[in-house]
Amino acid sequence: MGAQLRVYKRRIRSVTATKKITKAMEMIAASRIVKAQRQVAASTPYATELTRAVTAVAGGSTTKHPLTTEAESPARAAILLITSDRGLAGGYSSNAIKAAEKLTERLRGEGKEVDTYVIGRKGVAYYGFRERKISDSWTGFTDSPTYADAKRAAAPLIEAVSKETAEGGVDELHIVFTEFVSMMTQNPVDDRMLPLSLGATEQEDGKGEILPLFDFEPSAEDVLDALLPRYVESRIYNALLQAAASEHAARRRAMKSATDNAGELIKTLSRLANAARQAEITQEISEIVGGASALADATAGSDK
Partner 1 sequence: MAAELHVELVAADRSVWSGEATLVVARTTSGDIGVMPGHQPLLGVLESGPVTIRTSDGGTVVAAVHGGFISFADDKLSLLAEIAELADEIDVQRAERALERAKSDTDAASERRAEVRLRAVAAH
Contact residues: partner 1, CB under 8 A: 39, 42-43, 45-46, 49-50, 52-53, 56-57, 146-147, 151, 211-218, 222-223, 226-227, 230, 233-234, 237
Q: Which of 239, 275, 286 is nearest to 8 (CA)?
A: 275
Lay out the sheet containing 76-82: strands in order across.
136-138, 113-119, 76-82, 172-180, 186-194
Count CB-CB contacts under 10 A for residue 252: 22
* Minimum distance of partner 1 from residue 211's CB (angstroms): 7
* Minimum distance of partner 1 from residue 213's CB (angstroms): 6
Alpha-carbon gap, residue 107 to 173, rounded angstroms:
11
Nearer to partner 1, 178 or 238 (CB): 238
Q: Quote the DSSP letter at residue 111.
A: T
* Minimum distance of partner 1 from residue 11's CB (angstroms): 48
Q: Which of 31, 47, 32, 38 is nearest to 150 (CA)?
A: 47
Alpha-carbon gap, residue 134 to 98, rounded angstroms:
16
* Minimum distance of partner 1 from residue 77's CB (angstroms): 26
Region for residue 168 given its phi and psi (left: phi exceeds 0; alpha: psi -120 to 50; beta: otherwise): left
Q: Which residues pair with 180 in a beta bridge?
A: 186
Nearer to partner 1, 43 or 116 (CB): 43
Nearer to partner 1, 226 or 288 (CB): 226
Alpha-carbon gap, residue 216 to 219, rounded angstroms:
5
Exposed e or buried b per residue across 223-239, where buried means at least 16 C-beta atoms within 10 angstroms of its C-beta: bbeebbbbbbbbbbbbb
* Minimum distance of partner 1 from residue 143's CB (angstroms): 16
Nearer to partner 1, 46 or 86 (CB): 46
* Minimum distance of partner 1 from residue 67's CB (angstroms): 16
Nearer to partner 1, 117 or 237 (CB): 237
Nearer to partner 1, 109 or 218 (CB): 218
